[in-house]
Amino acid sequence: MIRYLKHDEIDKKKWDTCIKDSFNGQVYAWSWYLDIIHPNWNALVEDDYARVFPLTGNRKLGISYLYQPFFAQQLGLFSPSILNPDIVNGFLQAIPAQYQFAEIRLNTHNKTDDSIFKITQHTNYELDLINTYDRISKKYASNTKRNLKKAQQSGVSLMKNIKPEEVVRLFRANRGRTISHWNDLEYNRLKKLVYTAIYRGQAMVYGVYTAQNSLCAGAIFIRSQGKIVFLFSGANQQAKENHAMTFLIDAVIKEHAPSHLVFDFEGSDSESLARFYKGFGSKQTTYPGVEINRLPFLIRHAVRLLKRR
């Protein structure tokens, strides 16, 4: 039986045991991670935590809705046993009627019926690090090899364990200027998330410095469930010119290959980013986005306001 549980009714210990044992477990689904990115999250739980499904919701203009929180690419249904569309559909249909609208992203192993729900497929890229670095790097695209050589010739250097604030600062001063819907709350939440992961021994923060010892690029990775997740990065104009991010990602791949880890690029639906990620020999995977609209016909235009949160 699938039960709806409010946040204070969730047994976090049983929840985390389910995530640990799940064949499709993701770092985003641990209770500590959810507590940071979406405090007071609720859940659907089958029987005694045999399968679990986090619900990340909000309320605006008198309407309760579900949305995908920042820093969680994939959520959805997690299970120690293999899933099929009927099981996933059962959980989606069990979402309480109080949520009149939902726009959420499930995980790669959540196959569902697009005749029942509005489904949009999203793109991710992953690189298996089972092979040696030499074998992996030989499969880099010619453009990636060329940019890596340019980066090395420019005299850039890698520094491990830089402060997360430095990466955030770099992002805010550059690409962050174009993202109006991010404010101090999101950035502070990110920093709390990373420091918690550092405390748990799961986060890695790298910086790339120019030959003049100026930070030009940085990246934050979280390791969990056999994956190294490329969570967040920042780069300035110098990094674009000296290809610092190519240098940084190559260094992380070199550090962890060979191993039983998968490098998860965490995206992207953007063609330019997808091309960049594919350049490292990564393979494309997909995961479904689901839209559920139970709003009365006359007020469905309110969805536009909800998306702005």
Question: What's the pLDDT tens digit per position in 169-203?
Answer: 999 999 988 888 888 999 999 999 999 999 999 99
Q: Measured in whole angstroms, how far is the alpha carbon of residue 137 from the centre of its chain?
A: 25
Instruction: Say which residues have a Cβ less than 8 Å from residue 288's Cβ, sequence separation at least 6.
Output: 105, 106, 110, 111, 112, 119, 120, 121, 122
Proportion of the chain above pLDDT 70, given as a percent: 96
User: What's the CA gap between 88 and 109, in Å, rounded?
Assistant: 10
Mention the CATH class of domain 130-260.
alpha beta
Residue 298's pLDDT is what? 59
Same fold, 2-123+286-308 and 130-260: yes
The pLDDT tens digits of the residues spanning 31-40 come to 999 999 999 9
Task: Output the pTM of the full model.
Answer: 0.93
pLDDT lower than 50: segments of the chain: none
Q: What is the CATH architecture of 2-123+286-308?
A: 3-Layer(aba) Sandwich (3.40)
Residue 299's pLDDT is 67
Computed from CA positions of residues 97, 99, 100, 105, in that sequence, does the dihedral angle turn out positive or negative? negative
At 116-160, the pLDDT tens digits run 899 999 999 999 999 999 999 999 999 999 999 999 999 999 999
Query: 66 forms bridges with which residues in the sheet?
Result: 57, 102
Give the type of residue at 122.
H
Q: Given this model, what pLDDT does residue 180 score?
A: 80
**Domain ranges in the chain?**
2-123+286-308, 130-260
